[in-house]
């Protein structure tokens, strides 16, 4: 345990920051799960509505420093690719 006053303060601040980051990551994960569920149920209209919302949540987490910019961009590109593949599959049927 820390003995210095400033170290004790930093421990408390770091704990709060970690809790915020966990909350933001959870929000991103939930949005992605919601999007993927819409894709699995072949509800492309809902998926198209959720894509910009999910991208906005990911960008928000990126700007807060929770995700690196490349990681956030990779997540968004992956979601867009999944939606495009689902559209192509539906057109093929």
DSSP H or E stretch at residue 79: helix 69-92
**pLDDT score of 19:** 97
Kindly calculate the radius of gyration of the chain based on its CA atoms and give it in whole angstroms: 18
**pLDDT score of 1:** 78
**pLDDT score of 93:** 77
C-beta separation of 10 from 18 below 8 A: no
The 3-state DSSP composition of the chain as helix, strand, coil percent (nearest 5) reads 85, 0, 15
Per-residue pLDDT of the chain (93 residues; tens, 9 = 90+): 789 999 999 999 999 999 999 999 999 999 999 999 999 999 999 999 999 999 999 999 999 999 999 999 999 999 999 999 999 998 887
């Amino acid at each position: 345990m820390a003995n210095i006053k400033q170290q004790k303060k930093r421990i408390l601040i770091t704990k709060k920051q970690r809790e915020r980051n966990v909350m933001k990551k959870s929000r991103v994960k939930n949005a992605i799960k919601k999007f993927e569920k819409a894709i699995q149920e072949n509800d492309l209209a809902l998926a198209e509505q959720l894509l910009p919302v999910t991208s906005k949540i990911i960008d928000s987490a990126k700007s807060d420093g929770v995700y690196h910019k490349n990681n956030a961009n990779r997540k968004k590109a992956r979601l867009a690719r999944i939606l495009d593949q689902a559209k192509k599959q539906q057109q093929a049927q």
